[in-house]
Amino acid sequence: MTNKKVSFWRIFWPSLIAGMVILTVIFVLFAGAIGSLLSSTPVYTVKDKTILHLQLKGDIGEISKSEININSFGMTNRTGLADLLYGFEKAAKDDQIKGVFVELQNARCGYSTATEIRNAINKFEKESGKFVVAYHSGEAISLKQYYIASAASENYGFHSSMFEFLGLGTELMFYKGMFDKLDLEMQVIRGSNNDFKSAVEPYFLTEMSDSSRLQIQTYLNNIWSAVRADIGADRNISIEELDRIAEKGLVRRVGQAVEYNLIDDVMYRDEVIQLLAEKINVKSTEDLNFKGFEKYAQNKFEDQQNMAHVKKANVAVIIAEGNVIVEGDGLASKNITKLLRDARKDDDIKTIVFRINSPGGSALASDEIWREVKLANDKKKVIVSMGDVAASGGYYIAAPATKIFAEETTITGSIGVFGVIPYTGKMLENKLGLSFDRVSTNQHAVLSTNQKLNEKEFKIIQDEVDHIYADFLKVVAEGRGMTIEQVNTVARGRVWTGKDALRVGLVDTLGGINDAIAYAAKNAGIQNPTVRYYPKAEKEAWIELIEAFEEEDNTVKENLIPAELTEMYKRIKQVEQMTGIQARLPYEIIW
């Protein structure tokens, strides 16, 4: 018997073709499955006798935002104030919603945002007659967490939780001593009379100036006054008594909070859940239907906005949030100017609400945005609503509006300008042995951080800073109907709260975003307002799938990278985006 050799190619080609056919079939099936999933996004439903569970577990921005978190391989969801306010409005009219269970978990926002949320809680209870029950637990209950939840008609707490009710305070870090040891010098140029523009003080002082201390003490007192007034009104406690409690440190634990009527009783969480079951008349706590308030609010707001972007809207709300920059992540003039221009040219849009939440930034970018706000206001009235912060460049872009709304606790003003040029030559020479030499055609051709500014060069930059400050005064005077001298009196880089800004003429009225929208519609003669927010929040179908899985899983995934390092990286990126002369809040406020 003879063995016949089989050609390699006779085996190879059939095997290759068969393998390709199998892979193609698998790919088609897989693609079809994925396509089917993406084309049928999860349907959001609410059962009868549902209780909304409000948690607020992180940053609260102006509108919600979802993105992939590479640290946790999950979703990072930022809750939007616009979503929350609309959620309370819809829940009040939703027969399937019986009440709200508040359990805050490290909400990060300013006191202006906190005020708007608690006002929405109050309005929800008053207009719907439905309950809001708050439960305080965890290692420590912060003042802001309690401030928001105190609007609920019922407040309970875990017996061993710490309770922080000590007033408000702040601590600033000064770098001059460290810079001296490093032979590093910061050459600071402020507007000539901008003594309140204290952002640069840590570079050349070792403690606060009198001006800085005055403005910080004043706005802390104002915010504390507003917080006490709101808590006192809801808990029926006098402002004097609340101040005494904080001054003497009388409340340090939940039990003491009950003793002084800050909360109603001490309870374990299962007891509160049982209380909720009794409120809606269900036999067992297992029969309770809880739904995440944030998800409910986001879903309702997205539905409303999808409709507003399809049909003709007559009120535009443009969100301006973050550091003012020319291009990049934040309040970029390249993006905001386009939105303002589009709204101005849209004949269906009768009025514009410009929502500002910004500490300022680039003077150039601020000027670009200011121009578009002015053009829009000349054609159709622009109403500004200030969030937690609308200061320096954030105030500059508000100045040409017809009317400015701010909360009592909004941080605003800071009408001033500064620049900082480091001198690194001495440090590099003494610490590293580096030296530098230069050749140029003209005297000032080489402006380097390794060469200290001479008297003439310093004056050149000072003149530029003063010129920008003079323009700032002129812009505000024109927009607010004041003289330059009147503006200069309340400017000089000084920070004001909304309450004092109203008194000195920098804002027109106290109120939140919904107050501004209602006024804008009425002022434009709109009887049935259709409100469209810009930029429109776009969400991919696959993100909705991940969110749905996470909601079913109901677990919180921890970041692999510590939050402190993530926050530090974010701030470094912000510093990298700073170019040119800055119109910025004197310091960064960490709420």
For residue 544, how many other CB atoms are within 10 A of its CB? 17
Task: For residues 528 and 526, give the distance between their C-alpha atoms in angstroms, rounded to a whole number.
Answer: 6
Return the residue matching tokens 């812009």: 475
Backbone torsions φ then ψ of 346, nearest 5 degrees: -80, 110
DSSP 253: B
Task: Give the separation between CA 159 and CA 8, rounded to whole angstroms.
Answer: 79
The angle subtended at Cα 13 by Cα 10 and Cα 17, nearest 5°, is 140
Identify the bridge partners of residue 389 per DSSP, sorted by sequence position.
Answer: 411
Return the DSSP state at 361: E
Greatest extent of the chain over all pairs of C-alpha atoms, in Å: 115
Contact status, residue 530 vs residue 313, Cβ threshold 8 Å? yes
Give the long-range contacts of residues 440-448, CB within 8 A, separation 24 or more: none
Among residues 142, 116, 140, 121, the alpha carbon closest in space to that of 60 is found at 116
- Alpha-helix residue ranges (DSSP H) falling in 355-497: 363-379, 393-396, 425-432, 455-480, 484-490
C-alpha distances (whole Å) from 443 to each of 40, 250, 439, 541, 571 are: 68, 66, 10, 60, 36
Contact 299, 83 (CB under 8 A): no
For this structure, is 539 an active site residue? Answer: no
H/E segment holding residue 190? strand 185-190
Catalytic-labelled residue, pool 197, 291, 300, 350: 197
Nearest to 169 by CA among 253, 247, 257: 247
Torsion of CA 553, 302, 373, 586, to 10 degrees: -20
Cα separation of 92 and 582, whole Å?
44
Which residue among the candidates 128, 362, 392, 414 is catalytic per the annotation?
A: 392
Question: Would residue 197 show up in a list of annotated catalytic residues for this protein?
Answer: yes
Q: Identify which of 140, 145, 156 has the alpha carbon closest to the alpha carbon of residue 264.
A: 156
Q: How far is CA 7 from CA 12, 15, 451, 468, 523, in A?
A: 9, 13, 78, 84, 88
> 3-state DSSP call for residue 189?
strand
Grouping H, G, I as helix, E, B as strand and the rest as coil, residue 536 is coil
Q: DSSP string covering 33-57, please?
A: HHHHHHHSPPPP---TTEEEEE---
Helix, strand, coil abundance in the chain, percent, nearest 5: 45, 20, 35
Strands 360-362, 351-358: pairing is: unpaired
Q: Are the beta carbons of 328 and 577 closer than 8 angstroms? A: yes
Which residues belong to the active site? 197, 392
